[in-house]
Structure 1
Amino acid sequence: MRVYLPCTLPELARAVETGELGPAPLTGYAVTPALVEWYASGDTEELEYVALTEAARASLRMLVDDPAAPPRRVVVAAEVPDGSLPHNGADLREKARVRLTEPIPMTKVAAVHVDDLRATGDVKAAVAALPDADQGDDDARFTVDGAEAHELLWYATQEIPDILDS
């Protein structure tokens, strides 16, 4: 099963250095039964895009917590055994959220999705606006939406060193 893990560039560098994403528990996003039920008309590809988008939003929140990190959202796509992802049903707003109880070895990483360098201005503005957006400020929400309008770029695992050098 494919799981999408929110990340930052410094976290990705640590994962490369240690050989795993962790420590556990980790929050990820995947095609859960709740997501399938909610998005009944979507095919697997559409549902995976929803999970990827949720992970990108979580990455943006990680950037709020790490102001020194470069302003680029990062999502790591990894393969985990089917049935190993208990759905976190406590938050019905995030139907794709799952909790991983073990670190993810880098050998299980399938790809990395990262903002283009041209998105950094919008991502930086979104990071600054996110607390106000969470409080219901419509202008701040518009700013956050501006970052979310950028599509993440797909990178193969062998390109991770290039991502970290950019």
Structure 2
Amino acid sequence: MYVFLPSTLPSLTTVLDEGRVPVPVAFAAGTDDEEAGYEAMYTAAEESLRLLAADPDAPRRRVVLAANVADHLVEEEGREGPDVIRVRVTGESIPYKRLASAHIDDEAVEADIAEAVNDPDSDAADDHELMWYALQELRHLLD
């Protein structure tokens, strides 16, 4: 199953250093529809805003990691809308090798993301698309 994991840039540094992703919460598409996958990714991005609110020193950029996880390791926790499922991956972490990609805000939108962190009801982040990164690009992105 393809799952989307909310994160932050400091957490991403830890992922790269430790070779694993802690999995407090994840999101998955409730259908095979591509649009549902998109919605699941942006639901994880909303959760990333909450992670940013808890870490005032983190750069104001949403981070979503996409991972391929065996279906039997994924437990449904509830619905986040008609096409998105909140899931928990069994175990304490997902190995780095299970990651497929990262989706991260561009630096240019940090002010809008900061506004969205400070006011979750604002639509400041709504018009910003996450940028796609291959795993081999992540170390360069963080340097």
Asked whether the two chains share a fold, i.e. TM above 0.5, the reply is: yes
Amino acid of the structure 1 residue aligned with 2:108: R
Q: Which runs of 5+ in 1 are unaligned?
A: 37-42, 131-140
Secondary structure of the corresponding residue to residue 88 of structure 1: strand
Note if 1:114 corresponds to 2:112: no
1:40 aligns with none
Q: 1-side partners of 2:128 and 2:44: how far apart?
A: 14
1:81-160 matches, cutoff 5 A:
81-89=70-78, 92-93=79-80, 95-102=84-91, 103-130=93-120, 141=121, 143=122, 145-160=123-138
1:10-49 matches, cutoff 5 A:
10-22=10-22, 24=23, 26-32=24-30, 36=31, 44-49=33-38
2:141 aligns with 163
- Alpha carbon RMSD of aligned pairs, Å? 1.4
Q: Post-superposition shift, 1:115? A: 0.1
Q: TM-score, normalised by structure 1?
A: 0.79
Secondary structure of the corresponding residue to residue 72 of structure 2: coil
**Alignment CA distance shift 1:52-1:17 (3 Å):** same
Q: Which runs of 5+ in 2 are unaligned?
A: none
Instruction: Indicate conservation of the 8 Å contact 2:69/2:98, yes or no.
Output: yes
**Deviation per CA, 1:102-139, whole angstroms, max 9, x where unpaired?**
20111111000000111101001111112xxxxxxxxx
Q: TM-score, normalised by structure 2?
A: 0.91
2:63 aligns with 74
Amino acid of the structure 2 residue aligned with 1:127: V
**Deviation per CA, 1:77-118, whole angstroms, max 9, x where unpaired?**
0110023211112xx445421011220111111000000111
> Identity across aligned pairs (percent)?
42
Q: Post-superposition shift, 1:164? A: 1.1
- Compare the two structures and name the one with the higher helix fraction: 1
Instruction: Indicate conservation of the 8 Å contact 1:54/1:96, yes or no.
Output: no
